Amino acid sequence: MLSGLIFSIGAVGFLVRRNVLVQLMCIELMLNSVNLALVAYNRVHVGNMTGNVFAFFVIAVAAAEAAVGLAIVIAFYRLRSSVQSDEADALRH
């Protein structure tokens, strides 16, 4: 339940907010909630660690994604002096 709630908040935020930074944070929220669900289901299966291992990989990939995403935000800001995703409308520069 809680995981679903946090995921929903993150998804709604991703759709509603127009600040790229906040959108990235909402992606992190969604990933975190999925991790919570994985670990909770893993707790049911005693003696099996797959859920924990999978959540570990999710954390690793999320860290990489955050690094690349923030780099893209900085490059985009250099181009447009803005972090509004509405500004990202040019296919060539």
Partner 1 sequence: MAGNLFFVVCALVALVGALGTVTSHNPIRSAVGLLATILGIAGLFLKLDAQFLAAIQLMVYAGAVVVLFVFVIMVLGPDARTDVEAGKAQISRAFAGGLMALLAAGALFLLAKGGPTPTVFAKVMPGHGDVEAVGGQLFTQGIVPFELATALLIAAAIGAIAIARGKAVRIDKPRALPKGKYFGGPAHPRDVAAQVDTGVRKDGAH
Q: By CB under 8 A, how many residues form the interface with partner 1?
A: 65
Q: Is 93 in the site for partner 1 (CB under 8 A)?
A: no
**Which residue, 2 or 91, has its beta carbon nearer to partner 1?**
2
Taking the complex as a whole, the smallest distance from the CB of residue 16 to partner 1 amounts, in Å, to 4
Determine the 3-state secondary structure of 82 from DSSP: coil
Asked if residue 37 binds partner 1 (CB under 8 A), the reply is no
29 binds partner 1 (CB under 8 A): yes
Report the distance separating Cα 71 and Cα 75, nearest Å. 6
CA distance to 60, 62, 66, per residue, from 17 (Å): 26, 20, 18
